[in-house]
Structure 1
């Protein structure tokens, strides 16, 4: 790969910005532009990065000159697709904004798709749904595929069809040196392994080639139950024993004023479950019966629908300020642990405290743990906790609350989902990537990005030693 050029400067000076504007077709936005604040804003409020330049590319040809200038100046380089990651913005450097790259080609005959990184999960799912097809993505429609896919992809079809990376066929990518690669199981196989879970450490993805599955109308939606230790433990046990065709996401939180929920329950702690049964519609009643039997539902919005409708409509004005933590565990919550969870939620002073519980298994666990850089295939459940709040003055309080929750609840074997790491600190990288996985990723990073140009992420420095105690 050769030695990287000596950086010209530690900042992006006027000459570098002028060069960007000359070399790219897309727009270069700087702090003097009227829409700079809007352009730098990401989905989550409270992450107020102030980049020196935001480059909104209009085609793939815009990418190499941006990488060249970032490499020569040495400034931070953040990669943005949907803007849901806190790493989609940086201070003083360049944001390479790929959100305008939204070409999408669905090939129903071969059940494959080619999508640029700015394509959102909802855009892709709606387009594929027109042919009765789907790829297993996350659970938020506005997330861009460029970031979602590289971290793994845990969503509403995870037990039926696995992680998004399990449907990844090939990747087109531009490396730190400007090389344009097509990566698959036969070409740059080491990099193909790393990209399936290793995040944005290795280059700029310009196109993703994905497998599609036949997904007939599903039976799914939202089921709201009162949150008690018994209903929480019972729900998780039922989700674990359900057929793989059922995937669930449960938010334990104060009940908002949802349609159909009696007003006297608004603000009380509830179990809000989003559920997707992608099996035989005729058997759906028996599949959902154990959940409905846990307690009289406060709202039962389960019905037959096209799969794409499970994604809630996007609200571009919704930018929550939240302090969040996540971890994997090997045990379901019993009533004792569920009672402790409710007590911890009740101790929060946040506007909305929430614990999200996802029972895993199924197709996700049927892939060998070392087959991809996502190394948590066999974990029983993923738990995330968040404190949604309004004032930045409260952030430290809610950070401590979230950290304490993780310390109290997680099992002896650590683990974290890289797509849900925010300001957790560098040591938690070792939970996302166990030692053997990390060591392999660090060697691949040394080969493809030896100067760590792509470091604004959950970073794996080239050749670096594992940052934490996890040996899982």
Structure 2
């Protein structure tokens, strides 16, 4: 059967795999898996999924999309909350076949293709006692998380993922394959460190590696009283920079090691990562364990890759809102507990990440990630199963976010959904958005790369 692309002018069946890479069409056995994303409710059907093997094939795909006027999406790990990585009716450029990793152990650097996941990269470099910080999920593609900034378990010790980007290989809208760093195309190098996928297809990153032979990490569960929440945030802020935490305030899940009478009651489900020896980590964690008698304590010595356990393939429906706040006092903590109790979702959660440390020492205009002085990142989420309930849960998270709003108007671009231009601008404050728009007009004047949190090219 001949398959034509409605929005373009080429025949899918005539694409040569030797030129473009693996061609996956509707009806192929791999098609549904290739178009699936991690977020429920996204059912995009691309005309073709193409998996290139190298930058030259990426260039040909980009050129094909540009010359035929076909919508182009770029997929690294499939974690876009709104499915930006999978075009609905166009070309999905899927990087997952590009997993080459060249580790320079002595030089403490690694060239990594962007089809790798954070977990795959972390395991490989961890064999040499080295690490680069990504996010909190191992299945995330390193392309997407890096382009947006990268806030994870090493954020206080080593900063954002983009703070460890030394260079990149990128295919721009005109099909050129560019090497970018501080000396070569420095404007583009600045833009891709936080500006998202607006400027091209990054095919490789050169990352700095840090020595990290092991960590003291895992999860700690405490009862979520307002006082405990305040104490947790205060301890996380005062802790050495080796410690990064993610505190999820949520109803206790029905885990077998939690007493049944606790199931559904508010808890602090905290992910802990101390980037150092276990004996030091024990001392640093003592004040957290003293906040209240832990309901569960699974913090132990482990390789850093242990923070990325295997994940089940789940595609839940979720409403979420991201924001930054300045502080968590008793009134804020009481609001969090009350709101979590009021949700009718299958699972509701408030995620608090205390920032600072190495991330905050980088000047705000050094990269396109401009939230260097933000104190606490908050993510609010309501997970549900019935699509008809979506509006109700979206209203709950929006009202919740409004009740927590303080002086920081920012938002982390990697956690944005379809929330409009104003929110995209909030991701790039202090003139960052305008600077990015000018760079966009230089490297992508027709906005070929628009399936993202889009920054249109400047008109002047």
Q: Common fold, TM-score beyond 0.5?
A: yes
Matched, 1:60 2:55: yes
Q: Where do 5+ consecutive residues of structure 2 fail to align?
A: none
Q: Does the 8 A contact of 1:322 with 1:387 survive in 2?
A: yes
> Within 5 A, what are the aligned runs for 1:150-161?
150-161=147-158
Cα displacement (A) at 1:216: 2.5
SS across alignment from 2:196: coil
SS across alignment from 2:84: helix
Q: Once superposed, what is the RMSD of the aligned Cα atoms?
A: 1.7
Cα displacement (A) at 1:323: 1.3
User: Aligned partners of 1:76 and 1:414: how far apart in 2?
Assistant: 32
Q: Does the 8 A contact of 1:345 with 1:354 survive in 2?
A: yes
User: Aligned partners of 1:87 and 1:240: how far apart in 2?
Assistant: 34
Q: Where does residue 359 of structure 2 map in the other structure?
A: 364
User: Aligned partners of 1:175 and 1:41: how far apart in 2?
Assistant: 26
Cα displacement (A) at 1:345: 1.6
Q: Where does residue 254 of structure 2 map in the other structure?
A: 257
Q: Does the 8 A contact of 1:233 with 1:332 survive in 2?
A: no
User: Aligned partners of 2:430 and 2:458: how far apart in 1?
Assistant: 13
Cα displacement (A) at 1:259: 4.6
Aligned counterpart for 1:333 among listed residues 328, 338, 342? 328
User: Aligned partners of 2:32 and 2:393: how far apart in 1?
Assistant: 26
Q: Does the 8 A contact of 2:136 with 2:153 survive in 1?
A: yes
Q: 1:464 to 1:281 in 2, by over 3 A?
A: farther
User: Aligned partners of 1:16 and 1:441: how far apart in 2?
Assistant: 35
User: Aligned partners of 1:89 and 1:346: how far apart in 2?
Assistant: 36
User: Aligned partners of 1:306 and 1:199: how far apart in 2?
Assistant: 30
Q: Does the 8 A contact of 1:365 with 1:377 survive in 2?
A: yes
SS across alignment from 2:96: coil
> Within 5 A, what are the aligned runs for 1:9-408?
11-13=7-9, 15-21=10-16, 24-85=19-80, 86-315=83-312, 317-329=313-325, 331-408=326-403
Q: Where do 5+ consecutive residues of structure 1 fail to align?
A: 1-7, 466-472
Cα displacement (A) at 1:25: 4.5
Q: Does the 8 A contact of 2:250 with 2:347 survive in 1?
A: yes
User: Aligned partners of 1:410 and 1:101: how far apart in 2?
Assistant: 41
Q: Over residues 301-322 of structure 1, what are the superposed CA-to-partner deviations in whole Å (9 max), with x where a residue is unaligned?
A: 111111111112132x222221
Q: Does the 8 A contact of 2:278 with 2:300 survive in 1?
A: no
User: Aligned partners of 2:234 and 2:454: how far apart in 1?
Assistant: 36
SS across alignment from 1:24: helix
Q: Where does residue 427 of structure 1 map in the other structure?
A: 422
Which stretch has the larger CA shift, 53-62 or 343-352?
A: 53-62
Q: Does the 8 A contact of 2:132 with 2:208 survive in 1?
A: yes
Q: Does the 8 A contact of 2:317 with 2:383 survive in 1?
A: yes
Q: Over residues 93-123 of structure 1, what are the superposed CA-to-partner deviations in whole Å (9 max), with x where a residue is unaligned?
A: 1110001111111111111101000111111
Count of aligned positions? 455
Cα displacement (A) at 1:22: 6.0
Matched, 1:454 2:454: no
User: Aligned partners of 1:370 and 1:16: how far apart in 2?
Assistant: 45
Cα displacement (A) at 1:19: 4.3
Cα displacement (A) at 1:23: 6.4
Cα displacement (A) at 1:348: 1.5
User: Aligned partners of 2:358 and 2:31: how far apart in 1?
Assistant: 43
Q: Does the 8 A contact of 1:12 with 1:52 survive in 2?
A: no
User: Aligned partners of 1:101 and 1:346: how far apart in 2?
Assistant: 44
SS across alignment from 2:439: helix
User: Aligned partners of 1:9 and 1:294: how far apart in 2?
Assistant: 60
SS across alignment from 1:72: helix
User: Aligned partners of 1:464 and 1:438: how far apart in 2?
Assistant: 13
Cα displacement (A) at 1:38: 2.2
Q: Over residues 271-292 of structure 1, what are the superposed CA-to-partner deviations in whole Å (9 max), with x where a residue is unaligned?
A: 1000111134332222111111
Which stretch has the larger CA shift, 386-395 or 376-385?
A: 386-395
TM-score by length of 2: 0.95
User: Aligned partners of 1:296 and 1:277: how far apart in 2?
Assistant: 20
User: Aligned partners of 1:259 and 1:50: how far apart in 2?
Assistant: 39
Which stretch has the larger CA shift, 195-204 or 53-62?
A: 53-62
